[in-house]
Amino acid sequence: MIDDRIVNKILAPDGYKPAIRYLFPCNMLRAEILKAIKYPEISYRKFCGDDKTYENHKETGPYIGMENKQNRAFIGLSLNRREMINHVQMSQFRSSLSFTQMINLNVYILYLLQSKGMLNPFNVHFVDSTELAVDRQHLYKESLSTT
């Protein structure tokens, strides 16, 4: 359903050169989606296999290790090469997204859902979680000053 070329265009940073990469923005987005939907209760270190110290821990990780072909295929990782994503890459991906990129990605996803008939044509509710923490902090300070 998600077109990787469009996602790469939306999320590509300045100076993005696809020829020198083995991980693309679409791979990172798919890893984020997989972790958020299928494994929300675990840490990013555990999801990426970075929580263990023994040799070859990443290749044998239960979530995106070499033996978990379904998850690797969803993310777009090679099934026969030991390409892996680590928690630092995922963190850098999340923190590097600009507000414009996040909005454009959300608009694209809403378009996909609408075109598949998965959205009510009359109501669309949208929350950008990047603003929630600021609003909560502001509300908390206001409630303290009034008491």
3-state secondary structure string across 30-77: HHHHHHHHHCCCCCHHHHHCCCCCCCCCCCCCCCCCCCCHHHHHHHCC
Q: What is the pLDDT along the chain (147 residues), one digit of tens a residue?
A: 788 889 989 988 777 777 767 788 999 999 999 998 888 888 888 888 765 654 555 556 677 777 788 888 898 888 888 778 888 888 888 888 888 898 899 889 888 888 888 887 777 666 665 554 444 454 445 545 555
The alpha carbons of the chain give a radius of gyration, in whole angstroms, of: 18
* Residue 29: predicted pLDDT: 92
88, 44 Cβ separation under 8 angstroms: no
* Residue 136: predicted pLDDT: 47
Q: Which amino acid is at 10?
A: I
* Residue 113: predicted pLDDT: 86
